[in-house]
């Protein structure tokens, strides 16, 4: 099995860690096994809590449902479902910013309008 050096700049904690991670391990799970705590939420590739921006290298993330093909092409990845495909340098992102990039076009249509009252209200 191939092992890669993964350097993670964690903006939330202000620290940088370097880990050795096998190409068949998810980055988040491998980091946790090495006593490194990183941001996450769902662990299923469906949210943006563990989003990073890839500065160098490549990942394989076929299960990253929480990122559009456009965001993946811009260098975003979800550590909970990312396998290192090379040595990596990544930086954690602000979850709200990535969420807005991913889903904002759906919610940016203006204020939600109140509907008709339900029967009995």
Q: Is residue 75 in some structural domain?
A: yes
Contact 39/95 with Cβ under 8 angstroms? yes
**What pLDDT, in 10s, does the model give residues 63-80?**
999 899 999 999 999 999
Q: Is residue 119 in some structural domain?
A: no
Helix residue spans in the chain (DSSP H): 27-33, 69-73, 95-107
Q: Is residue 37 in some structural domain?
A: yes
Give me the domain span that covers residue 14. Answer: 3-102
Q: Which of 50, 41, 67 is nearest to 12 (CA)?
A: 50
Q: Is residue 61 in some structural domain?
A: yes
The beta strand positions in the chain, using DSSP E, are 3-10, 15-22, 51-56, 59-60, 76-78, 83-84, 88-92
The number of domains in the chain is 1
**What pLDDT, in 10s, does the model give residues 90-121?**
999 988 888 888 877 666 555 555 565 656 55
């Amino acid at each position: 099995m191939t092992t890669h050096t993964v350097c993670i700049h964690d903006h939330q904690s202000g620290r940088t860690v370097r880990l050795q991670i096998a190409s068949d391990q998810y980055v988040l799970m491998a980091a946790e096994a090495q006593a490194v705590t990183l941001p996450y939420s769902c662990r299923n590739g469906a949210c943006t809590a563990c989003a990073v921006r890839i500065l160098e290298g490549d990942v394989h993330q076929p299960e990253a449902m929480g990122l559009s093909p456009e965001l993946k092409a811009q260098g975003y990845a979800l550590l909970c479902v990312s396998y290192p495909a090379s040595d990596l340098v990544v930086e954690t992102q602000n979850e709200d910013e990535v969420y807005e990039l991913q889903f904002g076009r759906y919610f940016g249509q203006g204020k939600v309008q109140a509907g008709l009252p339900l029967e009995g209200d």
